[in-house]
Amino acid sequence: MLDANDIQIISKIVSDALAEERKHTEGLFVEERKHTDEKLGSFRQQMHADMMTIVESEINPKLRVLAEGHEVLLERMTSPEEIESMKTDIVILKEAVQQLSFKVNALQKAQ
C-alpha cells in the first residue's frame, strides 16, 4: 500500500514529467511558429510580387487609356468662362429676337 510519502514522490515525478513535456511542447510550438512565419512571409512576398505584376500589366495600361480619354474630353470641353459668356450672349439674343418679333408683328398688322 502507498503511504503519503510515496504519493508525494509519485506526484513530484508526475509534475516534473509534465513540466518537462510542457517545455518540449513549447519548444516544438516555437519552432513550428518560426516555420509558419517563414512560409507566411514567403507567401506574402510572392503574393505582393504577383499583385504588382497584375497592377503593372493589367491595371496601369487601362488607367493610362482612361486618363488619355479624359484628356481628350477635357480638351474638347467648353471652359466655364466660355459657358458664362455664352449664357450672356444667349440672353442678349433672346431679347433681340423678342424685339424683332414685336416689330415684325407690328408691321404685319399695319399692312
Q: Write out pLDDT tens, residues 70-103.
A: 888 888 888 888 999 999 999 999 999 999 999 9
Q: Is the pLDDT of residue 4 over 90?
A: no
Q: Which residue has the higher pLDDT, 111 or 104?
A: 104
Same domain? 53 vs 68: yes
pLDDT of residue 65: 92
Single-letter amino acid code for the residue at 107: L
The cell for 5 is 510519502
**pLDDT score, position 6:** 82
Residue 84 grid coordinates: 458664362
**Do 16 and 37 lie in a common domain?**
yes
Question: How many domains does the chain divide into?
Answer: 2
Distances (CA, A) of 38 to 3, 49, 55, 93: 52, 16, 25, 76
Q: What confidence score (pLDDT) does residue 32 get? A: 93
3-state helix, strand, coil in the chain (%, to 5): 95, 0, 5
Same domain as 30, residue 47: yes
- pLDDT per position as a tens digit, 21-70: 999 999 999 999 999 999 999 999 999 999 999 999 999 999 999 999 88
* HSE (side-chain half, CA atoms, 13 Å) at 24: 6
Same domain, 63 and 110: no
Q: What's residue 78's pLDDT?
A: 87
> If residue 105 lies in a helix (H) or strand (E), which one and from where to where?
helix 80-110
Question: Based on the domain organization, do 31 and 17 belong to the same domain?
Answer: yes
